[in-house]
Structure 1
Amino acid sequence: MCVVHIFVFLAAGLMAVIFAAKSSARTGIAAPLLLLCLGIAASFPSFIPDVELDPELVLAGFLPPLLFSTASNMPVVDLRRNAGMIIWLSMAMVVLPAIVIGAVIHLVFPEISIALAIALGAVVAPIDAVAATSIGKRLGLPPRLMAVLEGESLFNDASALVTLRTALAALAGSFSLWEAAGSFVWATVAGIVVGFIVGQLVTKARRWLADPVLSTSIALLTPWTAFFIAEEMEASGVIAVVVAGVICGHKATKHLSAADRNYSATMWTVISFILEHLVFLLMGLQIADLFHRAQTEHNLDFVWQASIIVFALLLVMRFGGVAVAVAGTRLSAARSHRKMQRLDATTSRFNDAVEQNLIESWRAEKLQRRLERTSADIEFAQSTPITRRGALVLSWAGMRGVVTLAAAQTISVTAAGEPIVHRSSIILVAFLVAVATLIVFGGTLPALIRALKFSPPSASTSKQEVSGLMTSLLDSAVAQLGPMSELEIDGRSLSPELAKKMESRIEMMMRSPARNQPSIAQSDRELFHDLQEKYLDALQDALDRERAIGAYSAKTFHAAQRRLDLFEDGLDMGR
């Protein structure tokens, strides 16, 4: 295919993505589902060239930026509070279905080896939350359910790929249980370490550059840097990318300017939009070729029967796995009353120790934040339980995506020197299962969410929460800096007029986001700018502390951060 044809193909694909996104807003059907159907329809006409999606392009090209973008926007507090559910769904409920599906397929179709059957189970086990989260955001799915879905989809690909690697090793005749367990531990631990180091170094480099364009250029390289370093060490590149994304996102507000973060956010929004939609179109375009290959090696009756069996097993195990996870959260919530009693007793002893000066001030402050965080976590567990309606949505959101197909195509053509005769049929089964989950679950999920009638917080409640947080931030800033009338900047005291204008500027920010600057005399502009910077630093420190405690919702923290960013954007307007 020449360069012109490639350009035309990509341009047509991008136009299809834009058309699907626009149609989704009008029809309510998820754009990934529309693109999948469009791709399937376009795969059969002879005048459209066959598309063979290189699995390495998806796993090493598309997957890292998509995971990094999601991870960098994932609040650490949400990961911490839902860690139990996320670990269970993204690890146990990937490995267990892979083994069960492998055993059943091998039992029903003895000609399919147990290793190849488990490989099939591994590639269809992880969910792809792109369609589910796009629907959930549009229809107001509760934030905790969104956090669980996004957290699960961040880590389940790593579990699936490690399980697939183990099954392929067994297929080649070199399987060892201890080696498999050791490889899994190494892939996980080394991936975490690589991601942590890359995230830290990238954040420091971006802070040192102090230029939005250069900083964003570094950010663009980060997911592939973490991925390929980890893969070269035979660790999990997926885990490395996710950890790097979480670290970069967590440290961004403290170490990067608003301009740096806004540039990066815009870049990742565009990249994620194009890639996560384009892959569904490419996925659909392959169906005709997959059917043709499967027909040459196997009766299609096997493909249909195996697809139905795998789909049914995934459905049953998804409901069962979510039920176990929700039962665990309810058990934890039931114990929260006793936890709160113990926390109250601990807090009382802590306050007595502080009053008697038995604890150093820095240690007391650290312990105080820990107690506040624990209290907020307990209150979160009590106030936002995952109900039966939430469990039903989590169970019904088990769509599979393009990673399933890409992972299936990494199955070797030969094993131990012999061709794998059922390879194309297994790939087609994985594809049909992924398509079925997208059509059945993705097509009905909007109606299900509407029928369950989740009640999002009212606009007035959200506004009050933001106002309460901003008031808390201002109180912390005043406690740190002292009264406005007593402030000095580089030895210069504030005039009453300048202090009044600063109070007016802060009051404006408290009411709503704004960049506007008051009129300041030329001689006072530098002083007023430094004063605003001082207050902004104090407000940002207070917001970072509140975010670590987690007493407010992620949406409220985002709104408060938006106000501080606009405040920062306006700093140079009056200079």
Structure 2
Amino acid sequence: METVSIVLFLLLAVVVSGAVSRMLPVSIPTPLVQILLGGIIGLSTSHRVELDPELFLFLFLPPLLFLDGWRIPKDELLKDVWTVVELALGLVLLTVVGMGFFIHWMIPAMPLAVAFALAAVVSPTDPIAVSAIAARVPIPKRMMHILEGESLLNDASGLVCLRFAIAAALTGTFSAGAAALNFLWVAGAGLAIGIAVTLAVSRVKAWVTKRWGEDTGSQILVSLLIPFGSYMLAEHVHASGILAAVGAGVTMSFAEISRQAMAATRMRRNSVWDTIQFTLNGIIFVLLGEQLPAILEGAHQTVALTGHSSPWWLAIYTIAIIAGLAILRFAWVWASLHLTILRKAQPGAAMHSPDWRLVAATSFAGVRGAITLAGVLTLPLVLNDGTDFPARDLAIFLAAGVIVVSLVVASVALPILLKGLTMPPEPSKQAEEDSARIAAAEAAIQAIERHQHALAEHHGEADLYVTVGGRVMDLYRDRIEGLNGHQVDEVRAGKRLAGEFGLVAVKAERETLARLVRDRQVSSEIAHKLTRELDLAEARYRG
């Protein structure tokens, strides 16, 4: 019962954090509000959440990384693939090595392997935290796509590096050659397993649906099980479960194109995954806040490990790590953007350096968040010989400090840097969209005509089929004419006005339906059905 109560308190804190962050007059990132609420929970109750590292890793990371891989825009990722790879792989390796030696030099009491582990967990960035920070100052789309792609890949690369660092700490030995060969197996097998599991499950789902129909609840549940199944299978063969979840998510988007689910299934599944993403990210930050009082209580014991007596040394170490991460990221982003410009420059053309604010904004956007916390909490409690894992509390404290400070700094700096920042203009995709709409409309008209003929041959009453089919085809012909005509702007303006009028009409329908329900003139079943139809209509008008 105690565990259930704690879980309910955590969920309530996640719900309240969303409302509080919207009520505040100043833009405070939701993760900071969640950390504060978690701290209140930790101070107001004697109960403590005891986290099992392996269970924590298994419950939180696979679904989050799977969803990131599923939803990331693939075309935009490929457009800046070299920049993303440079940030996600090159910068992570530089951070792990550079910050690992720096942390060990700064805190000699922390073993080198543990310092590398801490550097590995602070290397991944968190785009969700960035989105929360920049909610009132929109991030340019291209920058956000780069940050999303970087986060997806550096989550995996950082956690794989963490795995090797923990293994070195447990065994006390490390071989670069053996680690490189092991990395090829861990990464390659993990990705292959994730891809294979998703493709196999998609084919089985398609076969079952074709023969016996589709059950929405089962389809949603299967999508929830895929990341966990991929993770468990990969870990069973000593490959990377993290990369398996990422590979499964990326493959899921391609598998869905050829094996479409019903519209109702897709809508409900998206809603379920949105809720899971919000809940898991929120619980992670609330847990950080809940753990902070206990971490701070042991600050004197923790700082004693460093050979000092004042707890302020922990703040100094945190700021030093933040400064080191910022310097490395700024230098790497500057070099990466210059290399990108150099690769794309025409022979003989003059070189244009990127705006310093662009480099700074991209650097400050490297906020640490859920993955960093999830990673550091997976540090083992004991070594192979049963002794306590060295400097575990210190590593958790420093990682938590990096998360909080990076969120605060970015929440102040990003809106200032992004205000008025102009990115290179993106090519318009309107022509591509119009072409796709025309092709789809023409195919729809041909399908309706074929269906008209088929119905007339089997049932007669050709006039009825011609009349009804003609009404539907006129809608598609109007779409084609509007997209092909010379008054495209007027047509689009008309669509916007139609959407505005439609929203006004839907609002009136909702008010009338609510009155009918209050007056007991409509049953709850009919009210639910009409409400769902109004929801779909409102989504269509707002789209």
> What TM-score, normalized to structure 2?
0.76
Shift of 1:113: 2.5
Q: Distance in 2 between matches of 1:178 and 1:491?
A: 73
Pick aligned residue for 2:393 from 406, 416, 424: 424
Shift of 1:21: 5.1
Pick aligned residue for 1:330 from 337, 341, 365: 341
The C-alpha deviation readout for 1:363-399, integer Å capped at 9, x for no partner, is xxxxxxxxxxxxxxxxxxxxxx986544332211111
Q: What is the RMSD of the two structures over their aligned residues, measured on CA atoms?
A: 3.7
Shift of 1:314: 0.3
The C-alpha deviation readout for 1:325-348, integer Å capped at 9, x for no partner, is 22232223225999xxxxxxxxxx
| Unaligned residue ranges in structure 1 (runs of 5+) | 339-384, 515-561, 568-575
Shift of 1:162: 1.8
Shift of 1:134: 3.7
Q: Distance in 1 between matches of 2:81 and 2:390?
A: 41
Question: Is 2:476 the counterpart of 1:471?
Answer: no
The C-alpha deviation readout for 1:422-456, integer Å capped at 9, x for no partner, is 33222211211111111111344234323436699
Alignment-derived partner of residue 268 in structure 2: 263
Alignment-derived partner of residue 5 in structure 1: 5
SS of equivalent residue, structure 1 residue 452: coil
AA matched with 1:163: C
The within-5 A match list for 1:108-507 is 108-136=106-134, 139-171=137-169, 172-207=171-206, 208-209=208-209, 210-256=214-260, 257-297=262-302, 298=304, 299=309, 300-335=311-346, 389-415=357-383, 417=385, 419-452=388-421, 466-474=433-441, 477=443, 488-489=453-454, 492=457, 497=467, 500-507=470-477
Distance 1:496 1:223, change over 3 A: same
SS of equivalent residue, structure 2 residue 419: helix
AA matched with 2:222: I
The C-alpha deviation readout for 1:179-218, integer Å capped at 9, x for no partner, is 2111211111111101111121222233333332221121
Bigger drift between 483-492 and 134-143 goes to 483-492
Answer whether contact 1:142 1:456 (CA < 8 A) is retained.
no
Q: Distance in 2 between matches of 1:427 and 1:191?
A: 27
Shift of 1:254: 3.1
Distance 1:51 1:449, change over 3 A: farther
How many pairs were matched up? 468
Distance 1:482 1:46, change over 3 A: closer
Alignment-derived partner of residue 71 in structure 2: 73
SS of equivalent residue, structure 1 residue 112: coil
Q: Distance in 2 between matches of 1:101 and 1:231?
A: 28
Shift of 1:481: 5.2
The C-alpha deviation readout for 1:11-44, integer Å capped at 9, x for no partner, is 53243234245436x643321222123333554x
The C-alpha deviation readout for 1:501-551, integer Å capped at 9, x for no partner, is 23213246667699xxxxxxxxxxxxxxxxxxxxxxxxxxxxxxxxxxxxx
Question: Is 2:33 the counterpart of 1:34?
Answer: yes
Shift of 1:106: 2.2
Pick aligned residue for 1:96 from 94, 97, 118: 94
Answer whether contact 1:485 1:496 (CA < 8 A) is retained.
no
Matched residues, percent identical? 30
AA matched with 1:196: I
Answer whether contact 1:87 1:152 (CA < 8 A) is retained.
yes
Distance 1:170 1:57, change over 3 A: closer
Q: Distance in 1 between matches of 2:46 and 2:23?
A: 23
Distance 1:254 1:21, change over 3 A: farther
> What TM-score, normalized to structure 1?
0.72
| Unaligned residue ranges in structure 2 (runs of 5+) | 483-494, 499-535
Shift of 1:414: 4.4
